[in-house]
């Protein structure tokens, strides 16, 4: 549709990558996204949500890092169980067969 009016911050997000609609930061996974949100959710009794994004300094303090592609990652990367290959034949995940 609009070929020229594309925001510079728009990226092609693959897999579990996502962008925070609040602060605009990019995250390598939903887990990393969740890790940069803090504060209580709104309560059932009409309490306002005080959920907010961590600042860059706060994210770094939690051990989060920005990878080369510009996506925030948590320090837990690689420690969990291996992801199940649930994608189809068009999977964009590339095995680390280099080197
Ligand atoms: Zn955010």
The DSSP secondary structure of 15-73, one letter per residue, reads: TT-EE-TTT--EESSHHHHHHTEESPPPPTTSPPP--EEPPHHHHHHTT-EE-TTS-EE
Name the least confident of 15-24, 59-68, 77-86: 77-86
Output the average pLDDT for the chain. Answer: 79
Distance between Cα 47 and ligand 1 center (Å): 21
Q: What is the pTM of this model?
A: 0.61
Distance of CA 11 to the CA centre of its chain: 12
Q: Which of the two residues, 28 and 9, has the higher pLDDT score? A: 28
Please, which residues have CB within 8 angstroms of residue 67's CB and are 6 or more apart in sequence?
Answer: 28, 73
How many angstroms separate the alpha carbon of residue 69 from the centre of ligand 1? 17
Identify the DSSP state of 41: P
Provide the pLDDT for residue 58: 97
């Amino acid at each position: 549709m609009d070929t020229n009016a594309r925001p510079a911050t728009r990226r092609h997000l693959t897999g579990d990558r996502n962008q925070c609609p609040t602060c605009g930061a990019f995250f390598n996974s939903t887990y990393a996204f969740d890790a940069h949100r803090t504060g209580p959710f709104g309560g059932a009794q009409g309490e306002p949500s005080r959920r907010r994004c961590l600042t860059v300094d706060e994210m770094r303090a939690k051990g989060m890092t920005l990878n080369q592609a510009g996506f925030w990652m948590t320090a837990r990367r690689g420690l969990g169980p291996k992801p199940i290959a649930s994608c189809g034949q068009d999977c964009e995940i590339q095995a680390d067969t280099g080197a």
